[in-house]
Amino acid sequence: MIYWLYQLLSSYDIPGIGMIPGISFRSAAAIITSLFITTVF
């Protein structure tokens, strides 16, 4: 989903948006989100 959002917004000059396609960034975000889901719920 975030990748589609990136493709949609990539023409705009939004700071930090260039990180989204990077696998490392998305992997880190995935790990944090899954940790959040398991520990909170």
Partner 1 sequence: MQKKQIGEVVRDLGLEGQMQKKGTPTMGGIIILSAIIIPTVIFAQLNNVYIILMLVTTILLGIIGFVDDYIKVFLKNKAGLAGKFKILGQVSLGIIVAATLFLSDDVKVRQHVKDENGNDLKEVLIDPVTGEQTVQFVTQDVKTTITTIPFIKKNEFNYEWLVAFTGDASAWLKWVVYAIAIIFIITSVSNAANLTDGLDGLATGTSAISGATLGVLAYVSGNIIYADYLNIMYIPNIGELTVFIAAFIGATVGFLWYNSYPAQVFMGDTGSLALGGILAVFSIIIRKEILIPLLCGIFVIENLSVVIQVYYFKYTKRKYGEGRRVFLMSPIHHHFQKKGIPEAKIVTRFWIVGIVLAVLTVATLKMR
What residues line the site for partner 1 (CB under 8 A)? 1-3, 23, 26-39, 41
Angle at 23 between CA 17 and CA 29, to 5 degrees: 70
DSSP assigned state of 22:
-
Q: How far is CA 38 from the centre of its chain?
A: 19
Closest to partner 1 by CB, 1 vs 8, is: 1
Helix (H, G, I), strand (E, B), or coil: what is residue 21? Answer: coil
Closest to partner 1 by CB, 12 vs 41, is: 41
Closest to partner 1 by CB, 14 vs 29, is: 29
At closest approach, how far in Å is the CB of 12 from partner 1?
A: 20
